[in-house]
Amino acid sequence: MEFKARLVSWNEIVDWCLSIRKEIVNSYSPEIIIALSRGGLVPGRLLSDYLWIKDLYTIKTEHWGITASKDATAKIREDPTIPVKNRSVLIVDDITDTGKSMKLASDFIKKLGPEEVKTATMLHIDHSSFKPDYYATEVSNKEWTWFIFPWNIYEDVLRLLDKAMTGEHTEEEIITLLASNFDLNISRQLLQDLLSNFRQSGKVFRNNQKWRIIRTS
């Protein structure tokens, strides 16, 4: 197996965000949420609702350029003006893995003169160099997994197929490849939906019953 990947359900997202909310209401009163784009956008929006915080902003951090392969350095792509001065801030992301994105964002926001800054993620991998103040689930480094969030499924599965497919494969073969390379079990129906999108988007080619990735580089 190359590495483990798993599909995350919308129900899990809701459960994890509700569990973060539960911890926060007893200990912190943020006035503004900053969601890290793109992974923290949906959790940030849910927490904005669950915590009654209408002031929701985003900043973009980047370093996992492509699914399960990291760029060397994390960077903030924009330099936005966010009204955090003298206010209590909650920074939200989906997961802390290396922890670089959250560290970068939190250092960046701290320089803007907030009253207080706290951080929250749904998942926290225990090898992360940055530990969020609030997280719903801790994942052991030994169990390292690439989590396919429901908002990233097309991008992630295409990347996995790109890693696993060597030539032309039938749907059954693709399902087997995903299972053996990533311990990822996906239904035939889901695979067909994904392949249909990929095909319309010019990312895969179908020849009779076989599929091939269109690689541009």
d(CA 18, CA 47): 8
The answer to whether residue 16 forms part of the interface with ligand AMP (CB under 6 A) is no
Cα dist from 120 to 22, 43, 78, 151, 211, whole Å: 12, 9, 21, 19, 40
Determine the 3-state secondary structure of 108 from DSSP: helix
**Angle, helices 171-182/188-200, rounded to nearest 10 degrees:** 100
8 A C-beta contact, residue 102 and residue 34 = no
Minimum CB separation of residue 124 from ligand AMP in Å reads 9
Integer Cα distance of 14 and 20 in angstroms: 10
- Is 39 one of the binding residues for ligand AMP (CB under 6 A)? yes
- Per CB under 6 A, the list member of 57, 134, 147, 211 interacting with ligand AMP is 147
Kindly state whether residue 58 participates in binding ligand AMP, applying the rule CB under 6 A.
no
Residue 163 CB partners (closer than 8 Å, separation 6+): 2, 181
Report the residue from 19, 37, 88, 98 that binds ligand AMP according to the rule CB under 6 A. Answer: 98
CA-wise closest residue to 71 among 60, 62, 58, 80: 62
Q: How far is the CB of 159 from ligand AMP (least distance, A)?
A: 11
Specify the stretch interacting with ligand AMP by CB under 6 A; choose among 89-97, 163-171, 182-190, 195-203.
Answer: 89-97
Site for ligand AMP in 156-215 (CB under 6 A): none
Q: Among residues 36 and 211, whose Cβ is nearest to ligand AMP? A: 36
Please, are residues 102 and 131 in contact by the beta-carbon 8 Å criterion? no
Cβ neighbours of residue 217 under 8 Å, at least 6 residues apart? Answer: none
Choice from 48, 58, 96, 119 touching ligand AMP (CB under 6 A):
96
Distances (CA, A) of 162 to 6, 155, 174, 182: 16, 11, 11, 12
Q: Does 48 bind ligand AMP (CB under 6 A)?
A: no
Each residue 109-138 as x (binds ligand AMP by CB under 6 A) or -, in order, gives: -------------------x----------
- Among 13, 42, 51, 94, the residue binding ligand AMP under the rule CB under 6 A is 94
Q: Which residue among 16, 57, 64, 135 contacts ligand AMP (CB under 6 A)?
A: 64
- Which residues form the interface with ligand AMP (CB under 6 A)? 39, 63-64, 74, 93-101, 128, 146-147
